[in-house]
Structure 1
Amino acid sequence: MSIASSRSRAIRGRTRGGESAVWGAVFAAPQTVLFLIFFLLPVVMAFALAFMEVRPTRMTWIGLDNFRRVFNDPLFGKALVNTSIFTGVVVLFWLGKALLIAYLLDPMNRTLQTFFKSAFYLPAVTSSVIISLVWLWIFNPAFGLLNGLMVALGLQPVAWLGNTQTALPALMAMQIIMGGGSSIVLLSAALARIPRDLYEVAIIDGAKRSTIFAQIILPLIRPTLLYLVVTGTINTFQIFEAVYVMTQGGPQFATTTVVYRIYVEAFQRFNLGLASAQAIVLFAITMVLAAIQFRLMGQNVEY
């Protein structure tokens, strides 16, 4: 009797397990289909088109010619330099700003922390196009807010987005001011996980604030910093909306970025093969940068 009941329970367990697997597959199917159609398929097509010359009526295999054109294109080189400068400056200031704000929020009570973190996170859930349009008005040379303040102070107005010397720094300033909201939230969570006993022991031992920050806080939040550096670099290297809305890559290609260059080749010149090759080069660059960052910052990091 006991053997029969054991077999019955085993059969019911297998049946329930099979039903769970079926329902799991059913619920996962829509997401899987969307992933295949809107991510995997375009990636495969981009890799294929990178080796072809695409015409309206035919596609011709040309091997590595598109990649040779990418590396011999001075405008792509200019875009790569602009993007590298933009990414390096923005990510550095993003992290510095986020770390400072998170450090200042850490001693506050939960209500104040929630309020300030929500306020700083708000730009992250606001349309980047809307943000770019607002800053386009701020930088307007005729009636923008920034030049209005400068005139009120007796200074000469500046064409911030129309000058090759100021256009890229203006975009950097916008990204630094508006960005970093998610970094603040993550760093605040990382700081909250640090045991308070460590602070108390360090203070009793006579450690200064700078010593506590450098020898206790930074090592313990290093995994979070590594994550933010890698994801921030990848995301910032793909800057597009602000350039498209505010400068269109000008003046004189001073703000042309790699993704904007890909957009021009693909949707203005309809050179899909060259644009795909540029996209693959961008992918390779971001992966190399991520690997270097893991190599430099990921040593002795415990998750």
Structure 2
Amino acid sequence: MDNTLAKTKPAASSFTRFWKDYGWAYLFILIPLLLFVVFTLYPVISAFIMSFQRYNVLKSKWIGLDNYSYMLQDSVFWKSIKNTVLFTIGTVPVNIIITFVLAFFIFQMKNSFQTFFKAALYLPAVASGVTISVVWLAIFDPTPAGLLNKVLGFFGVEPSVWLGQSSTALFSLMLMSYLGAHGAGIILYLAAMGGIPKSLYEAADIDHASGWAKFSKITWPLLKPTTLYLTVTGVITSFQVFISVYLMTQGGPNFATTTIAYLIYQTAFQFSDFGLASAQSFVLAAMIIVVSVIQFKFFSSDIEY
């Protein structure tokens, strides 16, 4: 019996010492871990199970892959995928170019001017998406008194119902994206540009390198990690575009602006088909993961000079 106590005492002492050294660290980790499990992991698992059910609050029925089968045969679903892809292709590359050009010119300015432009251009990111959408509703007012129609009227262009025509509705949402939400990207680009060693440019000057050579061989390669980050986050954001569609077009006209995120909202909260909405959500998540992995695989690189 004494030998048993002798064997268990060091183990207990070791655990006590470990808890005394690291116990508080694990307690601090436990709180965010519990929040993650309760508010993220559990809902995701529940939604995944729900995607195989005809959901009802009182009693759900297991239907296997029927939700996925119905979704793949739904023309509106494929229309929403098409609109989402078009919106992504039409906004992400253009926004990155606009962001980079603005950051490049701001970087040439004095610090006081840089601070002013960074604050001014970051302001839309602070403003509510609802507020920005309401402002753009006034800009796209279809009457001749609408701001956009009035400006184009000076050039002899007839007033247009920008959000009420299938041919212009999606482009109007893209235009809204082009003229705002560049602040965060500009700050990231400016920080990356400031981190490029000046000695590289000094060496290029000694070799009589042109401005384009310095840009293509030094500036742009060293900004590729920042560009990749902005591309990945931009694609994820554009795949989930919802607020502007909900407030400005409600997916119309004729499903011209129905995105996959808005379709999920309609399916769940207007038609109360939570099982189908869950299936659509996981298809959207799979699309985002696949596109992100492809971007990292083909565009990421470690560049050192």
Using the size of structure 1 for normalisation, the TM-score is: 0.90
In the other structure, the counterpart of 2:142 is 141
- Which consecutive residues of structure 1, in runs of 5 or more, have no partner in the other structure? 1-10
Residues 230-241 of structure 1: pairs in structure 2 closer than 5 A: 230-241=232-243
What is the match of residue 184 of structure 1?
A: 186
Structure 2 counterparts to residues 42-191 of structure 1, below 5 A: 42-142=43-143, 143-191=145-193
SS of residue paired to 1:178: coil
User: Aligned-pair distance for 1:231?
Assistant: 1.3
| SS of residue in 1 equivalent to 2:257 | coil
Give the Cα separation in 1 of the matches to 2:208 and 2:235: 38
Residue 244 of structure 1 deviates from its aligned partner by 0.3
Q: Write the distance in 2 (CA, Å) between the matches of 1:210 and 1:230.
A: 27
CA spacing shift, 1:264–1:301, aligned 2, 3 Å: farther
Distance 1:273 1:301, change over 3 A: farther
1:21 & 1:237 partners in 2: Cα distance?
Answer: 42
Q: CA deviation at 1:156?
A: 1.2
CA distance in 1, matches of 2:19, 2:127: 43
Task: Specify whether residues 208 and 276 from structure 1 end up closer, same or farther in structure 2 by C-alpha distance, changes over 3 A only.
Answer: same
Q: TM-score, normalised by structure 2?
A: 0.89
CA RMSD of aligned residues (A): 1.9
Q: How does 1:201-280 map to 2 (within 5 A)?
A: 201-280=203-282
In the alignment, is residue 287 of structure 1 matched against residue 281 of structure 2? Answer: no
1:196 matched residue in structure 2: 198
Q: In 2, Cα distance between the equivalents of 1:184 and 1:20?
A: 43
Gaps of 5+ in 2: 1-12
Alignment check: 8 A CA contact 2:169 2:253 kept: yes
* Partner residue in 1 for 2:3: none
The alpha-carbon deviation at position 295 of structure 1 amounts to 1.2
Structure-2 separation of matches of 1:218 and 1:63: 50
- Between the aligned residues of both structures, percent identity stands at 44
How far residue 50 of structure 1 moved from its aligned partner, in angstroms, is 0.6
Q: Distance in 2 between matches of 1:133 and 1:26?
A: 45
- Distance (whole Å) between structure 2 residues aligned to residue 119 and residue 26 of structure 1: 42
Q: What secondary structure, in the 3-state scheme, does the structure 2 residue paired with 1:63 have?
A: coil
Number of paired residues? 289
Q: What do the CA deviations read for 1:136-157 (whole angstroms, capped 9, x no partner)? A: 1100112321112233444311
Once the two structures are superposed, what CA deviation does each residue of 1:129-176 show, in whole Å capped at 9, x if it has no partner? 110010011001123211122334443111000011110011001012
Q: Which amino acid aligns with 1:111?
A: S
Cα distance change, pair 20–98 in 1 and its aligned pair in 2 (3 A): farther
Contact conserved, 2:245 with 2:262, CA < 8 A, in 1?
yes
Amino acid at match of 1:236: S
Aligned to 1:7: none
Corresponding residue of 2:7: none
Partners of 1:245 and 1:29 in 2: how far apart? Answer: 39
